[in-house]
Chain A
Amino acid sequence: MDHAGTISRFSSTEFSRQKDRVERVARWVFLAMAVVMIAPLVSIIAYLLVKAWPSLELEFLLDVPRNGMTEGGIWPAFVGTVYLVFISLAVATPIGVLAAVYLNEYAKDNWLNRVINLAVINLAGVPSIVHALFGLGAFVYGAKFGYSILSASLTLAIMTLPVIIASTREALASVPMAFREACWNVGATRWQTIWSIVLPNSISGILTGVILQVSRAAGETAPIMFTGAVFFKAIERGDFFAYRLDEQCMALSMHLYTMATQVPNVEESVPYATAVVLLGSVLIVNTGAIAFRVWLRNRKKW
């Protein structure tokens, strides 16, 4: 037993071997779950690409639908989606960001701000079809904008607003409180503090949150179907400025729905190619957002 002390301390026991086995199993289980997560994305993309292959060419993007929408391209729907996404975010971003600045930087903990917080959280949880009904009542009939790009964009803006507020607040809250206190201690106003310290150091998070809403605004069908998206609209091939704000427009998500369910005798690859364009546009925007975020993060100063 002379060496027992050193031997038992470092030699393997039944317990330590079991611990190692559990450790290995745990590692593989967690890895497997992480891989499972990738599988649906890869298979969705692969499936879409294979099915869409016969239609995938630049002409599909630039051409207008032909032959009762059974052939041709998707240009009017693509342009319509770009309009809707751009206008809705142009409305929602300033309101959302400024509201979030108020809530995070100015608001005291009183009943009014608790109500606002509650409203933001609940608004984020409202299903999109309910937003659609609200948009129909408020913008199409209430404000008399009619079925139009304007009504549809505003509906999408209302839908994305709470998420923009939430993500912006998150970004603002990630700036350490000590920075603000240091500024206040030397006699800076709240606005001076926000402008020179808080915003420059949270802008990457704010923009990422906004850009991620592009995919939501582009993908939603219900809100625009009720308020401004239309089955078919004749515009020129490749014409980017084809729509006016008070007109209805086509949109990719809506187009995909009609092609897949409403129009008989569609070429099989057309709905899939539409989905590829929708998914591709969103992924390109998201990739841009990630690249931008990486670039900004490299400039981060603490």
Chain B
Amino acid sequence: MTTSALQVKIRVQDLRLTYGPKEVLRGLSFTVHRNEILGVIGPAQSGKTSLLRCLNRTIDFTSNAKVSGKIELDNRDIRQINVYDLRRAIGMVAPLPVGLPLSVYDNVAFAPRSAGLKNKADLDELVERCLRQAALWDEVKDRLHSLGTKLSGGQQQRLTIARALSHQPEVLCLDEFSIAIDPVTTMRIEDVLKELRREITIILVTNLIQQARRLADRTMFLLDGEIVELDRSEVVFSDNPADQRTYDYVNGIYG
């Protein structure tokens, strides 16, 4: 690990989230280092997606959600940051690919346009760069103006990633991005993520233990809204992690 990898990108302190009477996150405290891939594993309903939605504040759209605690991005409280700027700084890729009902080009140009970028040449360049980064350019460069929703599932997921990169995020959150796509595409995207780690910080929520093991520098095991263990992936996936529950989950005995 290089020294830059130890700089703190995100610091979460005592993050609690409730939906009405139901407590979903029970006081999470952790840091995400710059240019690392942080894996987040845990069974369904353990709060993984909710955690991501707190980070980019899309949790605000859930009317009965109450968040307490503090989240800092580069030492700034995210509540002090303009919410639209925050969401551009923290890219999000959802589990199911969502091609917006627009052309491939407009799908990627959507975010920069809504941020005010109008210059055609700049947009062209940005769209091409993002599509290349998402390993999709070669497949769609001849049909940039056909509908994004007509692409295959795997292509749409890469389109979603291109869209998440189009607003030049500093942190990229991926929420079980591979559940709807084939293994070959998954491997291609994993290669993309390894490339991206040089430039940005990645939070990878996954229910594929092997994927976290392959990609993540550190891995967090989340269970019932609490962090059971957060350590270097070698430790979490070793034969003797700090907590027995981690060992049981990773080895399929649990959950």
Chain A interfacial positions (CB closer than 8 Å to B): 108-109, 178-179, 181-189, 192, 196-197, 200-201, 300-302
Q: Decide yes or no whether B200 CB sits under 8 A from chain A.
A: no
Please tell me if the beta carbons of A186 and B163 are within 8 angstroms of each other in the complex. Answer: yes
A184 closest partner in B (C-beta): B58
- Report B143-177 residues with CB < 8 Å from chain A CB: 147, 149, 160, 163-164, 166-167
Please tell me if the beta carbons of B63 and A108 are within 8 angstroms of each other in the complex. Answer: yes
Instruction: Please give, as numbers and ranges, the residues of chain A lying within 8 Å of B147 by CB-CB distance.
Output: 301
Q: A179–B63 Cα gap in the complex (Å)? A: 19
The smallest beta-carbon distance between B159 and chain A, in angstroms, is: 10
Please tell me if the beta carbons of A184 and B61 are within 8 angstroms of each other in the complex. Answer: yes
Instruction: Please give, as numbers and ranges, the residues of chain A lying within 8 Å of B84 by CB-CB distance.
Output: 187-189
Instruction: Please give, as numbers and ranges, the residues of chain A lying within 8 Å of B88 by CB-CB distance.
Output: 186-187
B89 closest partner in A (C-beta): A187
Q: What are 13 inter-chain pairs, A to B, with CB distance below 8 A?
A: A108-B63, A181-B61, A182-B163, A184-B87, A185-B56, A185-B91, A187-B85, A196-B110, A196-B114, A301-B101, A301-B147, A302-B99, A302-B149
Please tell me if the beta carbons of B87 and A187 are within 8 angstroms of each other in the complex. Answer: yes
Instruction: Please give, as numbers and ranges, the residues of chain B lying within 8 Å of A197 by CB-CB distance.
Output: 100-102
Given contacts A185-B94, A187-B88, 5 further A-B contacts (CB under 8 A): A185-B92, A186-B164, A186-B167, A187-B84, A188-B110
A186 closest partner in B (C-beta): B111
Contact with A along B113-125 (1 / 0, CB 8 A): 0110000000000
The smallest beta-carbon distance between A181 and chain B, in angstroms, is: 7
Instruction: Please give, as numbers and ranges, the residues of chain B lying within 8 Å of A108 by CB-CB distance.
Output: 63
Please tell me if the beta carbons of A188 and B96 are within 8 angstroms of each other in the complex. Answer: no
Given A187-B167, A189-B114, A179:B101 Cβ within 8 A: yes
Instruction: Please give, as numbers and ranges, the residues of chain A lying within 8 Å of B63 by CB-CB distance.
Output: 108-109
